[in-house]
C-alpha cells in the first residue's frame, strides 16, 4: 500500500495561501501558529485527507471523514486509535486542549512531524480541531509498541515452557537485533534535522508489520513523537537510547526484563536508570557475557561485542 504523501484532492473550497475557513480567528495565537507553520496552505496542494485541506477545523456536529477502529493506546494526555480514511488505515492521536496542552504548541508538534521524511519515523497525514479535541493523523498504524513486544518476546519464538505463542510480536532473534539498527538510523535522522526526541522509551517506539517481496513478514520501528530542542538535548537522547538498548539486549541473551528492573532497584523502590548507573553497567557486563556464550554461526545476529563498549559510554552518566 503506498504511503499517503498525496491524497486525491476534492474541488478546492479556498485557494488563498493562508485563508482560514470557518470561525477560525487568524489573529489568535492558534491562528497565528497555523499560519506561521504553513498549516493552512491551499488544499489543492496539500495531502488532502479531508477534502478541505491538511488541517481542518470541524464544528462539533460535523462528521469527521474517518471510520474509527480499535484503540491502540492511551496516556494521561492522549488517546491513539486506528482509523480508516479513504481506504487507508491511519493512526489518530487525540489530545484534549487545556491549559497545559495549548493549541499553538500542538500545531508546532504537527509542524515538526510535517518536516520529517524517514522510513522509521511516522508520516504526518493531517490534523483537525473539533471542539476541544485536537487530532493528528499518522501513517502507518503500529501493531504495538516496544514495551509490549519485549514483554511477549521469547528466545527462538517460543514461550519458556515450549508452547508456540499466538502473539504477533514473535520474531527470530535476528529481527530484534535489526531493530537496534532501525532506532539508530531514526534518531540520527532526527538529530540531523536539528530535532531532539526528548522522550525515548520503549512505549514510544512503535512496531509495525508490513509485507515485503516474497511475502516475508517485516517489522520495523517508528518513532511517533518529536520535539524541538537545543543541540545539548542530543546527549540526553543518546543516554535514553542507550538505556533502551540495554532493555532490548536483555531478552536477546535469554535474561529477564523483570529481573533487570529488580536488579536496578536493588534494595530500594527506585528502578530508574539515572539513579542506578553502577547497576546498569553491571547488567551490561552480564549481557556481554551472554553474547560471548551465544553460537557463532550467525543465527542470532547479535550485535558485536564492540557495541557493548559503545553502550557503556552511552549510559555512563545522565546528560542534561
Distances in Å between the alpha carbon of 138 and those of 89, 253, 312? 9, 34, 35
CATH architecture of 144-314: Orthogonal Bundle (1.10)
Q: Whole-model pTM above 0.85? A: no
| DSSP track, 216-249 | -EEEEEEB---EE--TTHHHHHHHHHHHHHHHHH
What's residue 291's pLDDT? 81
Residue 230, CB-side half-sphere exposure with 13 Å CA sphere: 2
Contacts of 144 (CB under 8 A, 6+ apart): 72, 168, 169, 206, 207
Distance, CA of 66 to CA of 87 (rounded, Å)? 9
Name the nearest CA neighbour of 282 among 312, 317, 239: 312
Query: What SS3 state is found at 67?
Result: strand
3-state secondary structure 301-317: CCCCCHHHHHHHHHCCC
Residue-wise pLDDT for 131-162, tens only, equals: 999 999 998 888 777 887 787 766 554 433 34
Same fold, 29-139 and 144-314: no
What's residue 205's pLDDT? 83
- 211 φ, ψ (degrees, to nearest 5): -100, 135
10 Å Cβ neighbour count for 258? Answer: 10
**Domain residue extents for the chain:** 29-139, 144-314
What's residue 59's pLDDT? 95
Q: Which residues pair with 217 in a beta bridge?
A: 211
Q: Is residue 190 within 8 Å of residue 182, measured between CB atoms?
A: no
Tens of pLDDT, residue by residue, the chain (320 residues) = 333 333 322 222 333 333 333 445 656 776 666 556 555 443 333 468 888 888 999 999 999 999 999 988 777 788 889 999 988 899 999 999 887 778 888 888 888 888 888 888 888 999 999 999 999 999 888 877 788 778 776 655 443 334 444 444 444 555 667 788 888 888 898 889 888 887 888 888 887 765 332 323 334 555 555 555 444 478 888 999 999 999 988 887 888 899 999 999 999 999 999 889 999 999 999 999 988 887 655 544 556 667 888 899 998 865 44
Query: What SS3 state is found at 185?
Result: helix
What's residue 34's pLDDT? 58
What's residue 98's pLDDT? 84
What's residue 308's pLDDT? 87
What's residue 31's pLDDT? 63
What's residue 154's pLDDT? 61
CATH of domain 29-139: 3.30.200.20
Rounded to 5°, angle at Cα 148 from 145 and 179: 55
b/e 217-227 (16+ beta carbons within 10 angstroms → b) = eebbbbbbbbe
Distance, CA of 48 to CA of 32 (rounded, Å)? 21
Distance, CA of 223 to CA of 69 (rounded, Å)? 21
Distance, CA of 35 to CA of 18 (rounded, Å)? 6
What's residue 282's pLDDT? 95
Amino acid at each position: 500500500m503506498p504511503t499517503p504523501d498525496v491524497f486525491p484532492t476534492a474541488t478546492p473550497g479556498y485557494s488563498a495561501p493562508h485563508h482560514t475557513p470557518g470561525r477560525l480567528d487568524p489573529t489568535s495565537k492558534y491562528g497565528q501558529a497555523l499560519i506561521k507553520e504553513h498549516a493552512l496552505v491551499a488544499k489543492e496542494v496539500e495531502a488532502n485527507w479531508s477534502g478541505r485541506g491538511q488541517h481542518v477545523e470541524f464544528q462539533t456536529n460535523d462528521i469527521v471523514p474517518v471510520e474509527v477502529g480499535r484503540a491502540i493506546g492511551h496516556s494521561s494526555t492522549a488517546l491513539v486509535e486506528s482509523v480508516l480514511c479513504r481506504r487507508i488505515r491511519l493512526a489518530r492521536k487525540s489530545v484534549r486542549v487545556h491549559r497545559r496542552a495549548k493549541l499553538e504548541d500542538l500545531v508546532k508538534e504537527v509542524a515538526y512531524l510535517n518536516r520529517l521524511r524517514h522510513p522509521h519515523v511516522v508520516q504526518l497525514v493531517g490534523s483537525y480541531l473539533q471542539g476541544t479535541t485536537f487530532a493528528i493523523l499518522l501513517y502507518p498504524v503500529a501493531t504495538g509498541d516496544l514495551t509490549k513486544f519485549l514483554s511477549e518476546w521469547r528466545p527462538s519464538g517460543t514461550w519458556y515452557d515450549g508452547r508456540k505463542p499466538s502473539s504477533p510480536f514473535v520474531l527470530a532473534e535476528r529481527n530484534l537485533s535489526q531493530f537496534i539498527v532501525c532506532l539508530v538510523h531514526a534518531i540520527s535522522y532526527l538529530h540531523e534535522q536539528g530535532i531532539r526526541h526528548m522522550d525515548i522509551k520503549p512505549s514510544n517506539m512503535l512496531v509495525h508489520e508490513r509485507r515485503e517481496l516474497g511475502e516475508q513478514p517485516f517489522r520495523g520501528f517508528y518513532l511517533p513523537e518529536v520535539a524541538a530542542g537545543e543541540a545539548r538535548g542530543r546527549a540526553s537522547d543518546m543516554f535514553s537510547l542507550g538505556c533502551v538498548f540495554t532493555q532490548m539486549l536483555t531478552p536477546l541473551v535469554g535474561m529477564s526484563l523483570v529481573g533487570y528492573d529488580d536488579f536496578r532497584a536493588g534494595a530500594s523502590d527506585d528502578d530508574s536508570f539515572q539513579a542506578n548507573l553502577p547497576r546498569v553497567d553491571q547488567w551490561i557486563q552480564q549481557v556481554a557475557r551472554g553474547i560471548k556464550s551465544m553460537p557463532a554461526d550467525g543465527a542470532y545476529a547479535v550485535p558485536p561485542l564492540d557495541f557493548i563498549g559503545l553502550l557503556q559510554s552511552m549510559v555512563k552518566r545522565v546528560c542534561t
